[in-house]
Structure 1
């Protein structure tokens, strides 16, 4: 066996393994969101995660991947490679097309899962299926093409988004904001006097375990984006990922203790995730110190934006926008400030690189944010012409588990359920 064959084999194993780690993050999303929402809506969260995986994978295979990585003329959308056949010459040469698709498929599933949390407890299941198809087949692949395809127009400008602070998290976060605003707040979330009513999480230990699973999977998310098992930067990427997450978590512990006189558990959980989101764009090109700063700023910003959204009556049950949209924006812009000389074509502003890279990062972020928000709003509006996007008031009060899926998350005193009643239309 030649050395090149051995290296390619190792790369294949590495990418498949890290893809599996990213897919495991869906378990983290399921636990996190089920723990944050009320008990009567836990099953609906799990069902949406299965929709993310099943429909997301199929749609991305049939045409989403082609739109993202197919060849094109203008840098806007791929036009070849449907069902993984045809011209896909732009893909990495060290791994097979199948291997690369699997890794990217895990990413697209993560994008739609971000929106799921913001729409929790009130989006209709059928409407969510349709939105999932649009997000995984059109919205994400097209903007992803701009950033990650070698022929994409933002890629040609030199935008750096190593593992997706913009392409995945900012896009998903601003799409989540649009969904939360379009659906409106949950019944009773805001009193008639305008006061905010807290909806207590149903199971914080469950949410915590979900965050730990996500934290674990993030090492595959970031380190796996090298697409090579022999890349010397894997260790550094893992370290910056760990430091940013720790800094986001620590900053939220200290900040909420100062602000509320007690450490706020949901904010602390989201603080770690905010740090992870913030470092995702620059994990390969920033220093350890910069990673700590990015994580801490992301964590504190998440708390402040969560408060700001509450005052404006935007109901985001899991903090999807504050975690992904805001921290993804911070991480994307931070690359323009902290990118180390030699780590990329252009260094950051603080390393005498000037404003060029920062300007490209800001442009890319703005375009992705507007794209994600606008296309989500338009999609939900179009869906509403066919089917109500939001469940009825009665269904919401009963809970989506029973009213939509016909089964509670946790068994009650009775041992049996009448099948005829369960399957009533």
Structure 2
């Protein structure tokens, strides 16, 4: 009985464990293309698309795609300046990339984490993340990754006013990009070097590198990069007192930003125009551009808030649906376990009852066989006793008959004895 109950317990535990662990095995690793939806222009649609991919990947046990989706969601939040949510998703991706040993993806994700901390002005934390990424890229001998990490580290050192280290890493980045013949990378590093020289008020050198960067950007037709560079050149001219040239470049930057619908750069250009006009003593123009820039910044702020609210609302609605689905699935799983457990208990109880009945029948059968054996033995003993009794009776009768014969022969014997004695006396 004890053995049967132990077996029952073990079977139930095994069944429950099997059901709880019966998730799909991890699929083969595969690369996943970035979402085709432009995150910046339509974050809600992008989020829904990535969320569907994430749900499917989790269902299939595809950890690589799950990690990539988390990283993409992080980028989406980063683009909406929701840095806390961005970091939360970046770290989820980081955890999975580390577990699955996807070193290249991990290194890229570390740079994204570093950028997020950088724009939150947490430069020490950003630097650590960039340095970790650099070590991984060096281990992989991934030259482009190494170059990008050098650039990020140089920018971070610039923000902490450590210009010696900033120059060192920007020069290392520049060399790597030159080896790769990457004109986009080279242009960016030239701009970074110009920014360092501008911070140090070495304005001739700053202008030199900004012009080098602008030339490469114009050659590649990179209009987005040109806006910021042109704005930087306007700053340098303003700081050197060349106000007319500063106005030319600032207006150019404003025009390009407006055409490309880049409100941040547009507002920045207006701000530079306002500063220049103020230095020129043209306060009406200064006020005009200052107010125009402020309005653009306010509209940016309002639009960003609207987008963040819409995104957070979408996130909330999806989370609500996911929670409801998870709860429903948990209820189904629990009910399934209860039904299976009940069936198993019934089966085992029936087996236990059948075993008890079988044992009882065997016991009765054994008792019947034992009784039959006793009966047979008793019959044999009885027959033996009867036989011995008959033999004893026969023997007794023989003895009686013998005694009777002897009794009958006794008188004759006496007569013969008397005759013999008389005969002897005569002789």
Q: TM-score range by the shorter chain?
A: under 0.3
Comparing both structures, which one devotes a greater share of its residues to helix?
2
Q: TM-score, normalised by structure 2?
A: 0.26
Give the number of the structure with larger relative contact order, counting CA–CA contacts within 8 Å between residues 6 or more apart.
Answer: 1
Q: TM-score, normalised by structure 1?
A: 0.26
